[in-house]
């Protein structure tokens, strides 16, 4: 990435870069695919926060969604892994260099079907990683079969009805120990951008399930993951605003209407009460709202659960401060004498 001064009159961020510097390759996804809108919001979030893309690791599995990292942050490191196996790659990469900022992109099939075992263990480990599920309720890349997040009663284009209970990835993540769990909609620019910025400021697993309609296979009447259905059934739990650590707070709220949530890097979230009094630090509250809304066929969106101070996986493992990947061999391989000592102790 070049850090030369921008031409006069060009809008740049706090590290002197234009929005353009955060783009990736031109998308090859279908025009109107929700996944494209999510890539745009990742670009906006990283630009607005002044993130150095060279410090970012982009990770994904297989699927249309998993192709997305190619379309943002062209200067970041990237690894497009195996179907459902991104969590193992992310875990290895972050243990090798915990100073990186990891952004993982998965699909509802990649996470909820073949990758469910990996997802479960990732959530309980609280690895520092922003984990985005681009959730369209189908396997877009293989021509639109139902995925495990398809709702009961949702139909395919040819009229086939889904009879199986869906997996709610947010409920699972909350139950398993993820410390930041949110749901959003690719069509809600403001909410998604705010949640992404908050997720990038969080130290631990920040899981965002983004409902992201597949315009080619799952955007018809009868689908509960279509643009029209999601727009009509979106139930935000609170209005969310984000103030980065490098900015003054300029938002004013009436006493009692807003809850402040401090984030790890000094940034803050302001959650403004809507219809209900929502406490995002309460697992019970989150689980109850998710069950209540889904029984009415609605999507609870926004920041559903947060535990800002939970220890992340790298701190739990007491890793040395320097990235393991940078340590010289003498500090990673025990000497012959140490190995002999261990062997003697076993005798
Ligand atoms: C081991 C393996 N099994 C199956 C496939 C075929 N396959 C490719 S993508 C995909 C599902 C993708 O669905 P999802 O993760 O929801 O992504 P989307 O395309 O909907 O964004 C499947 C089954 C594969 N590539 N590898
Ligand atoms: S097939 Fe569906 S998920 Fe894949 S790029 Fe097209 S619209 Fe997006
Ligand atoms: Mg999908």
pLDDT in tens, 8-21: 778 999 999 999 99
Measuring CA to CA, which residue among 97, 101, 89 is closest to residue 128? 101
> What is the reported pLDDT for 175?
96
176 CA → ligand 3 middle, Å: 22
Q: Using an 8 Å Cβ cutoff, are 119 and 110 in contact?
A: no
Q: What share of the chain in percent tops pLDDT 90?
A: 90
Q: Which residues contact 231 (CB under 8 A, 6 or more apart)?
A: 185, 187
- Contact criterion met (CB below 8 Å) for 279 and 285: yes
Segment 213-221 mean pLDDT: 98
Taking the CA of 28 as reference, the closest ligand is 2
Q: What is the pTM of this model?
A: 0.95
Q: Which tens digits make up the pLDDT trace of 266-301?
A: 999 999 998 888 999 999 999 999 999 999 999 999
In this structure, is the dihedral angle defined by the CA atoms of residues 79, 85, 90 and 95, taken in order, positive or negative? negative
Q: Give the residue-averaged pLDDT of 207-212.
A: 98
What tokens were used for 163?
Answer: 């009879």
Q: Which neighbouring-strand residues pair with 207?
A: 131, 181
CA atoms within 13 Å, Cβ hemisphere of 80: 11
Q: Predicted confidence band at 6 (pLDDT cuts at 50, 70, 90)?
A: low
User: What percent of the chain has pLDDT above 70?
Assistant: 98
CA-closest residue to ligand 1 atom 9: 63
180's enclosing H/E stretch is strand 180-185
The closest residue, in CA terms, to atom 1 on ligand 2 is: 140
CA of 218 to the centre of ligand 3 (A): 10
What is the structure's pLDDT at 330? 87
Residue 332 pLDDT: 87
Judge contact between 222 and 74, C-beta under 8 A.
no
* Pocket test residue of 33, 34, 67 for ligand 2, highest count of atoms within 8 A of CB: 33
Model confidence at 309: pLDDT above 80: yes
Is the per-residue pLDDT at 253 higher than 90?
Answer: no
Q: State mean pLDDT over 24-37.
A: 98
> For the purposes of burial, counting CB atoms within 10 Å of the CB of 279, is it exposed (0-12), middle (13-18) or buried (19 or more)?
middle
Start-to-end CA span in the chain (Å): 55
- CA of 273 from ligand 2 middle (Å) equals 35
Angle at 28 between CA 23 and CA 32, to 5 degrees: 90
**pLDDT score of 7:** 67
What pLDDT does residue 248 have?
85
Enumerate residues lining ligand 1, CB below 6 A: 62-65, 83, 107-110, 114, 134, 136, 138-142, 147
**Average pLDDT value for the chain:** 95
**Which atom of ligand 1 has the smallest separation from the CA of 106?**
15
Among candidates 148, 161, 153, which has minimal Cα distance to 109?
148
Region 335-347 average pLDDT: 91
Widest pairwise Cα distance in the chain: 74
299: CA distance to ligand 2 center in Å?
21
Q: How far apart are CA 161 and CA 146, in angstroms?
A: 9
Give yes or no for residue 189 having a pLDDT over 70: yes
């Amino acid at each position: 990435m070049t850090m030369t001064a921008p031409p006069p009159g060009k809008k740049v961020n706090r590290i002197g870069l234009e929005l353009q510097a955060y783009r990736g390759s031109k998308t090859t996804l279908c025009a109107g695919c929700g996944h494209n809108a999510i890539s745009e919001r990742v670009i906006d979030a990283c630009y607005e926060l002044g993130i150095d893309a060279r410090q970012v690791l982009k990770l994904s599995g297989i699927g249309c969604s998993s192709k997305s990292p190619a379309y943002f942050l062209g200067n970041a490191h990237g690894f497009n892994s195996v179907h459902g196996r991104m969590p193992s790659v992310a875990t290895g990469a972050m243990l090798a260099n915990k100073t990186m900022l990891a952004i993982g992109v998965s699909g509802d099939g990649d996470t909820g079907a073949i990758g469910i075992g990996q997802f479960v263990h990732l959530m309980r480990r609280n690895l520092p990683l922003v984990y985005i599920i681009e959730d369209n309720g189908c396997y877009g890349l293989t021509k639109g079969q139902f995925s495990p997040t398809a709702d009961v009663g949702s139909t395919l284009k040819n009229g086939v009805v889904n009879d199986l209970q869906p997996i709610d990835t947010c409920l699972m993540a909350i139950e398993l120990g993820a410390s930041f769990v949110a749901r959003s909609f690719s069509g809600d620019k403001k909410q998604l951008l705010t949640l992404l910025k908050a997720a990038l400021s969080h130290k631990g697993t920040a899981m965002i399930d983004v409902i992201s309609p597949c315009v080619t296979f799952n955007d018809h009447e009868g689908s509960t993951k279509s643009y029209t259905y999601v727009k009509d059934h979106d139930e935000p739990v609170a209005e969310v605003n984000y103030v980065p650590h490098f900015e003054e707070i300029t938002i004013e709220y009436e006493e009692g209407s807003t809850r402040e949530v401090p984030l790890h890097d000094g940034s803050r979230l302001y959650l403004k009460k809507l219809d209900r009094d929502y406490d995002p630090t309460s697992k019970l509250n989150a689980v109850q709202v998710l069950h209540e809304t889904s029984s009415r066929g609605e999507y609870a969106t926004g920041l559903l659960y947060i535990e800002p101070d939970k220890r992340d996986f790298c701190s739990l493992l007491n890793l040395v401060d320097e990235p393991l990947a940078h340590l010289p061999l003498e500090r990673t391989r025990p000497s012959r004498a140490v190995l002999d000592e261990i062997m003697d102790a076993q005798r």
